[in-house]
Structure 1
Amino acid sequence: MPLSIAAAFARPSYPVVVIGAGQAGLSISYLLKQQGIAHLVIERRRVAFAWREQRWDSFCLVTPNWQCTLPGFPYDGDDPEGFMKKDAIVDYLERYRAHFDPPVVEGVAVREVRANATARAGQPWAGQPGAGQPVEGRYIVDTSHGTIATDQIVVATGGYHQAILPAMAHALPASITQVHAIDYRNPAALPPGAVLVVGTGQSGCQLAEDLHLAGRTVHLCVGDAPRVARRYRGKDVVAWLDEMGYYDLPVERHPLGTGVRDKTNHYVTGRDGGHDIDLRQFAREGMRLYGRLNDIRDGVAQFDARLAEYLDGADAVSESIKTSIDAFIAQRGMAAPEEARYVPVWEPGAPVRALDLANSGITAVIWCVGFRSDYDWLKLPIFDARGYPHHARGVTPATGVYFLGLPWQYSWGSGRFSGVARDARHLLEAIAGTPTSC
């Protein structure tokens, strides 16, 4: 059961405060509790909120269930090769919470975290009942329900905070409904008519498929996101990459280095047991594909002419992954069934550069163009010019301040169920080795 707000704020300080109660926050809480380290987990809404409220109805994982390995609570279901749907993901996290009863207080928003300039000097701190008594703690956590001091903070809020809407969204006619992917739920929730989906990362491709399978006319703006096959030579590609050590590759050893953090994820799906997402096949079935959306003027969408290049590029990435799997099989002398390579099933004709939205019957636009991080509330000098935290495996230059659950924080799995446990254990060592006064 979550802590009551009154119980959480009954004490003025904690040795460790964890901000966020998703899979990252719960993971570090489990390890802290195992070590007997007192702490408080502050959750703005409720445990697993993003999975509950910010995913569409048919959402499911794109990684197999066996990769769900939270600390002390690996996947225990009867379908390890399957892909958990949204409700099952929420259930998994709720069962994890029940498994070890973390000290979580829900419905409390963190407004500001700042250095505590006076506590170390033994000066009274007036921000909490009992003022006049010195309160130790390097940092002050100011929340919607009170203020707490702490020596160590784990920021476990992920890296996707604010949905991006491009400036051209304001140019859409008022008659067209527009939503970000975070607010999409199902085809029936949109007005009747055709739908323009902007973006072909994982969300864009999966939402386009969701609408397409529901019989909606879909217009899809394609970008340079890569794709990956679901299965190859007898196994899920994720299983091959796991055997090949890809998921253990530290970000510093990745060919792109930390630049991989800015790359769009490969699109694939776990829907209906998992399969490839082939935009060319969608086009054969009636989906309309265009290049990247450049502008909207007077109700007319304008695209670049690079659709063929984007499709070819996505296919090339998928085939290159297969080539690496072939090489791995050959090097190990492994027995694996042969499989023919992908042959494109559709080729675009002359590029369509403009589309009149009203004449095309488009009544809704879904923006699948990503998120930006927001750490304005963290008033500490630990960020680069783009607002990304300086850190080494989640350990920042500020004593006692850590991040957990960032995409590619250390490896591919850092922001996922598969790698957050390893990152949390690394942070536990740092936390346990840092002296506290609370």
Structure 2
Amino acid sequence: MAFPPRRIASWKGALAALLVACASIAAVPRPAVAAQTNNEIIFNRPNTGTMYAIEDRLVTLIDQATTGTSLKMAMYQMRDRSGGNNVKDALIRAKNRGVNVQLLLDATALKTSTGADEGAYADLKASLGANVKFCGAIGSDKGCHGALDMHNKFVLFSSLTDGTTNIIFQTSQNANSWAGGYLQHNNAVILKNENNTALWNGYTKYFNDMWGVAAAGQSNTNDNYWNVQKVVNGSYGDAQFMPRTYTSGKSLADILDQVDCPGSVIRTTQFQISDEIMINALRRAKSRGCDTWVVTNRRSSVPALNATATTTESPMNGSMRFYETRDVTDTRLGTTSNNDVIHSKYTIITGAINATVDGILYNQDKFVFTGSANFTAGSRVSADETILRLQSMPGLNMDAVYSAYFTDFDFLWDGGRPSTEY
């Protein structure tokens, strides 16, 4: 499937492409969905009818968790959704019907300003007891392995009532309203029946290792989880788990450096871009002639990406947009609210790569990387994070996956502020 170098269409004309429906991938545009046995890609739209698309789909999956099976959730933050069918209540329902629920939270958002247990945490602690944990002391802002947050956002279901097994739910969205939640732009991927169990086993080991640290009342136990588990390569994709020191490799930066330019397309959507390693890799790609476009939430990301050109790096200039400080009168996304914040963290590439990075041969022509990690040094080397690459394989059409993410990027690009407005 070929795409024009700039964009596939205006978002108004291409929004239907978000509703990807093929033999193996389905984007979920609405809050209520029936049981599905195929894989899914989901995008939400704040302040619209699909605002709750990701959270509602997760609630549906939790309600389908089979009695007597396991549900492991690593979630940076969780809050009650007022008047809604929220994740917290679904977890309690699952526990009450005999699902073995294990919930790992970050320690920063568990108390109110008065020192009382935050509402969702209080209810979960009362229901799950020892099966809700966090690493370090409450408010310590420490990861289980890393020196910073437990910033993951994934759920593992061993079995659902629709007959599927080894279900991986990976998202950029917290179970919140504002802080990374449904009031911000996010994405999610659901992988079911992962028949090459390497990916499932990798996620499970990562969760269990964090859980063991939390159970011991510890934090920041391994600044380089790469020494424990490197890239895990399964039939539905491969994943790497943070923290990872730069001396062991630079991950996506190394991959971007291998993209064959000119002629290739790179698009990345990030909440924040402050990691010099990633900034320089994007600028190098543009300098080599890659059609490189960036949408970021943070205004502070603009200066470094637009820094003066060098012999090997080019500024983004007109190839970058940002969202922070959008005025309430800015209607480029068809809304009069300034709640439009980008919280997704994904990178898509179309073009030739024929190189081995981190022991994985990259020899496709389309790539999608998503997960919980921002393009910040702290996120990539000091926090507990996950990066998931979706692979092309029988039963999962990579053209459809790429198209869905490209269309989402195009939509977000339309709503961003040009870097000239910095």
TM-score range, shorter chain: under 0.3
> Under a length normalisation based on structure 2, what TM-score does the superposition of the two structures give?
0.25
* Bigger Rg over Cα: 1
Greater RCO between the two (CA within 8 Å, min separation 6)? 1
- Structure 1 length as normaliser, TM-score? 0.24
